[in-house]
Structure 1
Amino acid sequence: MTPRTGEDEVVDLCRDLIRIDSTNAGDNAGPGERQAAEYVAEKLEEVGLEARILESDDRRSNVIARIEGEDSSRGALLLHGHLDVVPFDAGDWRHHPLSGEIADGCVWGRGAVDMKDMDAMILAVARQWASAGRRPPRDVVLMFTADEEAGGAYGANFLVDNHKELFEGVTEAIGEVGGFSVSLGDRRLYLIEAAEKGMAWMRLRAKGRAGHGSMLNADNAVTELADAVARIGRHEWPVRLTPTVKRLLDELEIGPDEIDRLGPLARMIGAVLRNTANPTMLQGGYKANVIPQSAEAVVDGRFLPGYEEEFFATIDELLGPNVTREFVQHQVALEFAFEGPLVRAMAQALTEEDPDGLAVPYTLSGGTDLKAFSRLGITGYGFAPLKLPADLDFSGMFHGVDERVPVDSLRFGVRVLDRFLALS
């Protein structure tokens, strides 16, 4: 009986992973990643790869495996994916988000693009190589993490802080949110993530004088906080073209004031032309006729590589003298040169599968586990290759309703990753 190839397996692997509820609401109270981790470990061990599960807390499981390469003296390559997904309201979906159903040529479900598709592709390629007795040119570390959707405290950061031995010799990495195609007219571009904005989730707090709601009170904490939140939310941040963004705009042959021409892609590109700060939560008071002595808000801030100092100087000015801030999450911005052997391997693997495609760099407005791995000096890129239909709003799938990935795209991704590993 002919063994199944990675292309044969990847769809079933993706569907199986989607059917495992690994929802992460950020409160450490959900089902956790253990069942998904056990599934991944089992699939690796079936083909003779030793998998290790490490838990940072109850059910917060991470899976690690190391594949010895032909030349272990070279820097090792990390392939990473996270096992958790964001919450969902099943009533809003056409197909249940835990069904892994195949419909309209796609696999549907929470995690289909973020990022159980890439988990499945990594698994499929690793199983294919192991079953065939193939070894990569250099050592490859496979890492499937917990908690990425809530900042990685139970996942990537836990591993970096407590298990540095797992990263021995690792110099480069590939992970999520890159390598997907975007069609612009008769051009098909593959966006490889080469930079990420930094993260500053901030809790704002105002204190005032408590009192009766019917009386005059010039020291109202709600008013102070509301003014600060409004100033931040309405602030128009200046355009700042980082090297990665400038190169992408040059490839697209557009200026920063022309991004509306990019259709759905404009959401992604527009968010990386400048720093951003969006108020997301607001809380204050406990009774209609009581002026509270304090009020709080949360702001989701994202700063471009090289502009962190400018970002916080502006935020502090907008806060005013009577509102303080503290971090809920604070993570670095990243930017890596779009050059060198690893980048050439990604570009070549893509064009060998799609001769009409062109690999270009872009900046991610969000963040990935690469922020944690970069603390060990690891250079990394977003490279989860998918050739997508021109009319699919891919960026809208992330954390969105009716998340899905085309079956053909998953198989394409396996072929590209197979070529990439051989070239890397």
Structure 2
Amino acid sequence: MLKLSLKSIFIFIYQLLFFLSVINATPNWEQVQTESIDLLQKYIQIDTSNPPGDVTKAIKWLAEICEKNNILYRTFTVDEDPRRMHLLAEIKGIKSDLKPLLLLNHVDVVPADVDAWQYNPFSGEIHDGIIYGRGALDMKSLGMMQLISLILLTREGWVPERTVKFLAVADEEILGEYGTQWMIKNHWDLLDPQWVWDEGGFGSLDSFPGLNVFAIAVAQKKSFWVDIEVKGLSGHGSRPYDGYPNEVLATALSKVVNWETPIEINTVVDEMFFRVGDNMKGIEGLVLKNINNSLINYFFSNALSKKSTTVNAMIRNTVSLTKIQSGYKTNIIPEKASASLDIRLLPETNHEYFLNDLHNIVDDKRVKFIPQRVPRNNFISDWNSDFFNTISSEIKNQQPGAVVTPFMTIGGTDSQFFQDRGVDCYGIVPILISESDIQTMHGIDERISIENFMLGLKISYKTIKNVCGVK
């Protein structure tokens, strides 16, 4: 018979109580808020505008935070451009056979016109409970939610089953080769995640009246950038000739911008509409739940596309005319005219077929289409994974009655480079905001409320703990 000494029993009970205290530990959120908001303000105050994209000061500051809080980390400098740096931190799990959860965020932000803002975009000022600053939404807030979660878990003595890694990168705002792509190319062995948590979606207060909808990006439209070029003879502006470059280009562009591409509702958007419609009453709920029914689609899809520019972009391929270049003097007919198109394709659309459609729409051999960025990614992440289900539960715990749904983001994020490798990626800043707040991203007076930041932090903390913790 096994005999246990009082000492061994005491040690066992002590270890069990310690384990239970770690599992059930709950931060003092009032104290955490003071520290967290201070960190977010300081992060915003570091100008990481891209261009020029110098993030060295911010990465070194993040490294100091990791050092101070006993979090393992490494920094990486891109030799070709030392202004581009990255930081990889982690809490190691006890099961080495489990691939890590990767918390992905970018350090760089888009530039801001100081004179156009109500408050200095690099001040992090707080007014009426709202933090203003470039990066408040995109995406220094999520970066801080993720890192502060690791700080809190480290202080608790938390030891996860699954390793959790935090990756802060440069160059996302220009989808540059020295950002996430560089880390994947040069240090995949240090990453190789099971799941990636990135930006992409938000919780929306007003996209669907009466519902709080949290959209988690599992797919994204593909960026296909194409230049249009027409060449001809130059001449005097007083003697226009038939078919000079500007005339041909203008005619072609008119056809392109007036082209209404067909509506195509893919599996992700169909699932989103179903989940939202299932929580709505009346005809709108019925339509959304059954939008892929051929009869309902025929009668209602066009009206649905006019609901908002976001919805329209989610259900069709879009073409935006973003640049026109021609001429160098008013009285000279230039020999060349060109324009640039920002084309966003649905994941299942073949870019070569779409380019052929463009040729047919313009129907003019004098017009040349020159692809500049060719898309690769057509991956859709699994929305029945442990990560998706866990974060959905935590959102609903914090926001009872909320609808959580998979979502296809119409913009591009760094997730696409992990999805190229077959990794399930999920994009959401777990806060609840209005359409007017979202418009401040890349715009004027970008902001996040303290209440929203703390909501996102609580969801982040619990999600990481439950996804990676001992089951």
TM-score by length of 2: 0.82
Q: Which has the larger radius of gyration?
A: 2
Kindly report which structure 2 residues correspond to 1:287-302, keeping only aligned pairs within 5 A, or say none: 287-302=329-344
Kindly report which structure 2 residues correspond to 1:125-136, keeping only aligned pairs within 5 A, or say none: 125-136=149-160
Kindly report which structure 2 residues correspond to 1:393-408, keeping only aligned pairs within 5 A, or say none: 393-408=436-451
Bigger drift between 172-181 and 366-375 goes to 172-181
Q: Which amino acid aligns with 1:151?
A: L
Q: Which of 37, 44, 57 does residue 11 from structure 1 map onto? A: 37
Report the equivalent of 1:96: 120
Q: Which of 180, 186, 195 does residue 203 from structure 2 map onto? A: 180
The Cα shift of 1:370 comes to: 0.4
- The answer as to 2:370 corresponding to 1:326 is yes
Preserved CA contact (<8 Å) 2:213 2:403: yes
Preserved CA contact (<8 Å) 1:199 1:333: no
| SS of match in other structure, 2:429 | coil
Counterparts in 2 of 1:93 and 1:370: CA distance versus 1, 3 Å: same
- The answer as to 2:431 corresponding to 1:386 is yes
- The answer as to 2:61 corresponding to 1:39 is yes
Looking at structure 2, the residues matched to 35 and 146 of structure 1 have their Cα atoms a distance apart, in angstroms, of 12
Kindly report which structure 2 residues correspond to 1:16-415, keeping only aligned pairs within 5 A, or say none: 16-25=42-51, 30=52, 32-56=54-78, 57-168=81-192, 170-183=193-206, 184-253=208-277, 254=284, 255=287, 256-259=301-304, 266-309=308-351, 310-319=353-362, 320-331=364-375, 332-388=377-433, 393-415=436-458
The Cα shift of 1:4 comes to: 8.9
Bigger drift between 328-337 and 146-155 goes to 328-337
Counterparts in 2 of 1:258 and 1:394: CA distance versus 1, 3 Å: farther
Looking at structure 2, the residues matched to 421 and 231 of structure 1 have their Cα atoms a distance apart, in angstroms, of 50
The Cα shift of 1:107 comes to: 0.7
Bigger drift between 126-135 and 101-110 goes to 126-135
Preserved CA contact (<8 Å) 2:306 2:312: no
The Cα shift of 1:43 comes to: 1.1
Report the equivalent of 2:295: none
Looking at structure 2, the residues matched to 419 and 152 of structure 1 have their Cα atoms a distance apart, in angstroms, of 32
Looking at structure 2, the residues matched to 53 and 224 of structure 1 have their Cα atoms a distance apart, in angstroms, of 52
- Aligned-pair Cα RMSD in Å: 2.2
Counterparts in 2 of 1:392 and 1:217: CA distance versus 1, 3 Å: closer
Structure holding more helix per residue: 2
Preserved CA contact (<8 Å) 1:5 1:128: no
Q: Which amino acid aligns with 2:426?
A: Y
- Give the unaligned 5+ runs of structure 2: 1-27, 278-283, 288-300
Counterparts in 2 of 1:297 and 1:139: CA distance versus 1, 3 Å: same
| SS of match in other structure, 1:215 | coil
Looking at structure 2, the residues matched to 69 and 16 of structure 1 have their Cα atoms a distance apart, in angstroms, of 30
Percent of paired sites with the same residue: 28
| SS of match in other structure, 1:397 | coil
| SS of match in other structure, 2:419 | helix
TM-score by length of 1: 0.91
The Cα shift of 1:186 comes to: 3.6
Q: Deviation digits for residues 105-128 of structure 1, max 9, x if unmatched?
A: 211011110111101111111111
The Cα shift of 1:219 comes to: 4.3
Counterparts in 2 of 1:162 and 1:197: CA distance versus 1, 3 Å: same
Preserved CA contact (<8 Å) 2:96 2:162: yes
Looking at structure 2, the residues matched to 348 and 202 of structure 1 have their Cα atoms a distance apart, in angstroms, of 42
Bigger drift between 226-235 and 216-225 goes to 216-225
